[in-house]
Amino acid sequence: MAKRAYNFNAGPAALPLEVLQKAQEQLVEYQGIGMSIMEISHRSSQYEQLNEETQSLMKELFGIPDGYKVLFLQGGGSTQFAMIPMNFLKAGKTAAYVHTGSWADKALKEAKLFGETAVVASSEADKFTKIPDLSGLQLGENTAYLHITSNETIEGSQYQQYPDTGSVPLIVDMSSDILSRPVDISKFAMIYAGAQKNLGPSGVTVVILREDMLEDLPKNIPTMLKYEIHAKNNSLYNTPPVYSVYMVNLVLKWIKENGGLEAMERRNREKADLIYQAIDGSGGFYSGVVDPAYRSIMNITFRMKDEELEKKFVKESEANGFVGLKGHRSVGGLRASTYNAVPYEACKALAEFMADFQKRNS
Ligand SMILES: *Cc1c(COP(=O)(O)O)cnc(C)c1O
């Protein structure tokens, strides 16, 4: 049996061992067809069935009501940053954004290329250690949509509740916490996520879109960037990322076999608690970056008293089988990403390593 690292990578990130083993078993021959899934037409009945089944599993697990489409697109979360304003921001309207950190900022920057935008709430003054309170948010009639970032992967903050936007379409980037906990889908006009954090490998982006969003869209945008085209063609307008969709299919089955989203959330909270307790119980040796009320259960960010010690921590962690604990280069510090597929045992081992490192260095 292969020795698996304690993988805390932020993305691409850990995949469930059972999923990798299933993929290995089916790599050379998929369901008796004498080939791998990568070697057949995307118009074949086998792929069409995989495409349908993956959509159904997503609907079932996530509790997606009727009236939504599940699309499998390419170009990552980053292409959605541009597709959203291209499709939904008309002249004379304003796109509203909540600025919570690095990814929210990237989404906003793309929207500015296409039309009028407004930052309606921001935690920049708090150095992105919080999620702004959106309970009293007033959005003008002219608002095309409100865009939020469910989980800031780099800063380590996460929405604990989503805003109510009435008739204004709410669009959310869930790239780093999709399927980590149950969500009331009916609040959202659109949910999107690059797969490589919590859903599978890179290469596919899942878009969940309320069907009324497909009405009356601009015609003068490139075909591949039109939601309408992908919806009409059931994500088969052009060659889809077949293998990535296949892997997402296996991950969804794994989530189902492991108790669905309630069980994922319970496990994710237990895992994150182990590490937050190691931080909070360290008497200041480690300090959490984010205000405890907004801490992410997916990306745990923390610091130590100086960068030299942080460097030493990363180096020693690597020598002990831990991978991916260095914070994002733009913010420094340390980060443990504890997505669905990261085992409890890995988080327990990290908490123990942290206590041991503290003992040896204080
Ligand atoms: C990783 C990430 C993205 C970007 O995804 P790509 O697929 O690399 O374009 C966008 N938003 C969030 C919150 C992310 O974590």
pLDDT average, residue stretch 7-32: 97
Residue 145 region by backbone torsions, left for phi larger than 0, else alpha for psi between -120 and 50, else beta: beta
Identify residue 112 by its one-letter amino acid code. K
Superfamily of domain 260-361: Aspartate Aminotransferase, domain 1 (3.90.1150.10)
Closest ligand 1 atom, residue 80 Cα: 9
Is 196 known as a binding-site position? yes
CA–CA gap between residue 302 and residue 287 (Å, rounded): 5
Q: Where are the domains of the chain?
A: 18-257, 260-361
CA–CA gap between residue 10 and residue 325 (Å, rounded): 9
- Has 216 been annotated as catalytic? no
Closest ligand 1 atom, residue 152 Cα: 13
**1 pLDDT exceeds 80?**
no
**Which residue has the least CA distance to atom 8 on ligand 1?**
76
- List, in sequence order, the alpha helices (H) in 182-306: 227-232, 242-257, 260-280
Asked if 173 contacts 147 with a C-beta cutoff of 8 angstroms, the reply is yes
Fold of 18-257: Aspartate Aminotransferase; domain 2 (3.40.640)
Neighbours of 290 (CB within 10 A): 25
Average pLDDT, the chain: 97
Which pLDDT belongs to residue 2? 65
- Has 197 been annotated as catalytic? yes
For 293-318, the pLDDT digits (tens) are 999 999 999 999 999 999 999 999 99
- Has 103 been annotated as catalytic? yes
- 103, 253, 271, 326: the catalytic one is 103
- Tell me whether strands 190-194 and 151-152 are parallel, antiparallel or unpaired: unpaired
**326 pLDDT exceeds 90?**
yes
Domain 18-257 identical in fold to domain 260-361: no
- Pull the structure tokens for residue 132: 């702004």
Give DSSP secondary structure letters for 6-46: EE--SSS----HHHHHHHHHTSS-STTSSS-GGGS-TTSHH
Q: What is the DSSP letter of 339?
A: -
- 173, 226, 253, 326: the catalytic one is 173
Residues in contact with ligand 1 by the CB-under-6-Å rule are: 11, 76-78, 103, 149, 153, 173, 175-176, 194, 197
pLDDT average, residue stretch 268-278: 98
Nearest Cα residue to 231 out of 253, 252, 204, 212? 212
Distance from residue 277's CA to the centre of ligand 1 (Å):
28
Q: Give all strands of the β-sheet with 287-288 in edge-to-edge order.
A: 287-288, 299-303, 334-337
Distance from residue 11's CA to the centre of ligand 1 (Å):
8
Spatial neighbors of 121 by CB under 8 A, at least 6 apart, are 98, 99, 132, 133, 134, 137
Distance of CA 171 to the CA centre of its chain: 14
* 3-state helix/strand/coil string of 274-292: HHHHHHHCCCCCCEECCCH
For 104-151, the pLDDT digits (tens) are 999 999 999 999 999 999 999 999 999 999 999 999 999 999 999 999
Is 239 known as a binding-site position? yes
For 51-64, the pLDDT digits (tens) are 999 999 999 999 99
- 197, 226, 253, 326: the catalytic one is 197
**20 pLDDT exceeds 90?**
yes
